[in-house]
Amino acid sequence: MSDSLNAGKLWFLGAGPGAADLLTVRAARALAAADVVVWGKALMTDGVVEEHARAEAELVSWPPAEMADIHAVYDRAAQEGLVVARLLWGEPSLYGSVRDEVRAARERGLDYELVPGVTSLFAAAAALEIELTIAPQSSRPLILSQGRGDPVPVRELARHGATMALFMVGERAEELQRELIAGGYEAGARCAIAHRVTWPQEVVLTCRLDELAATIAARDLDRHTIILVGPALEADGPGVSPPS
């Protein structure tokens, strides 16, 4: 961390999976020093800002703010020497817009710093009490992918038989279930659904892979959900219930 928290600076902070006490100490300190906090109000619990930001800090929520509004805050930071905390959910380097954000800071000649965060994947693993990199293969691979995009190469990824975590599942659950089975996971394999982990609305459960889409639909889980399948879910663990 740089020694000056008061000069104009743009902090890109990993905000963690949702809970206010899952920011790093560094992120919490930077947030507490911010004149302006830019955050996705729907992406993290209110406590993240309420517990760490100064009461007088200006809050800019995205949405309704758009990128142009956020860039206007960065312009002001450069001109007025403001400290801005830009909260990015989970760990910013995973399925985030961190490159664009850094470019925006550079273009403005702003001093900036990135602070890593606790990804929702690690929060999900903790809730499930699983070891993500347990595997029969000695290289112990772990595959991360988003469950959207065209085409979603899930079937090819599944052929490795590794533990796989799929972010942004949303309305694609049925297609993902089909592709995971087509790629080689057993229909009766245990998989996990981790929804809004560390939020008050958290839902974390396991089910058979061929019941994945129905389980998500029955609980009407939005895309704030990760699914996991593979050896980490097959290994015995206290948080993993046996397949039905």
Residues that bind ligand SAM in the complex, under the rule CB under 6 A: 17-18, 89-91, 94-96, 119-120, 167-168, 194-199, 223-226
The answer to whether the CB of 142 falls within 8 A of the CB of 122 is no
Q: For 52, list phi and psi in degrees, rounded to 5.
A: -115, -30
Burial of 14 (0-12, 13-18, 19+ CB in 10 A): buried
Q: Which C-beta is closer to ligand SAM: that of 82 or that of 87? A: 87
Q: d(Cα 206, Cα 131) in Å, to the nearest integer?
A: 15
Q: Which C-beta is closer to ligand SAM: that of 111 or that of 199? A: 199
- Considering the complex, what minimum distance in angstroms separates the CB of residue 85 from ligand SAM? 16
- Considering the complex, what minimum distance in angstroms separates the CB of residue 149 from ligand SAM? 12
Output the six-digit token pair for 114.
Answer: 């990135």
- Considering the complex, what minimum distance in angstroms separates the CB of residue 41 from ligand SAM? 14
Q: Which C-beta is closer to ligand SAM: that of 111 or that of 146? A: 146
- Considering the complex, what minimum distance in angstroms separates the CB of residue 6 from ligand SAM? 29
Q: Which C-beta is closer to ligand SAM: that of 95 or that of 235? A: 95
Output the six-digit token pair for 19.
Answer: 């809970």
Name the residue number minimizing CB distance to ligand SAM: 90
- Considering the complex, what minimum distance in angstroms separates the CB of residue 136 from ligand SAM? 26
Q: d(Cα 227, Cα 121) in Å, to the nearest integer?
A: 9
SS (H, E, C) 6-43: CCCEEEEEECECCCHHHCCHHHHHHHHCCCEEEECHHH
